[in-house]
Amino acid sequence: MRRLADTTVAGRSDDQAEAVGYGTGTVSFYWKVSSQEYCDELLFYIDDSLRDVISGDVDWEQKQYTVNTEGSHVFRWEYAKDGSDSDGDDLAWVDYLQWTGESEPPETESSSSSSGWQELKGSGTFY
């Protein structure tokens, strides 16, 4: 499980985790947040395109997104905190990340696709 925490820099706080998948496929994960609603948010991006946002007190939810383009894909979760008040725990969590596409870049154009779910490896500190 990846816990994204409040790390304040110049009145704004951000923490993030990333994972990479290759080819076409589906990314799924569970996430939750305990934050100031509409001010402190957990954001999810695919290839730098914002796909979803949660804030407030949201219990574990499963999310799933399909990626229809070839190549490498960066999945990023960012906890963004403004400089105002705090509510809740000021934390966000992401767990059970999975990707149905390739888990490694193809070695040649004739490489076959992996079957089944592949667990994503995230960067950063895991708690």
Which residues have CB under 8 Å from 26's CB, separation 6+?
Answer: 64, 65, 66, 67, 99, 100, 101
Give me the domains of the chain, ranges plus CATH numbers.
2-107+115-119 (2.60.120.200)
Give the Cα separation of 82 and 14 in Å (integer).
9
Which pLDDT score is estimated for 4? 54
Residue 108 is predicted with a pLDDT of 52
Tens of pLDDT along the chain (127 residues)? 555 554 333 334 568 889 999 999 999 999 999 988 888 899 999 999 999 999 999 999 999 999 999 999 999 999 988 777 677 888 889 999 999 988 778 775 444 444 333 444 443 333 3
Residue 116: count of CB within 10 angstroms of its CB: 6
β-partners of residue 15 are 79
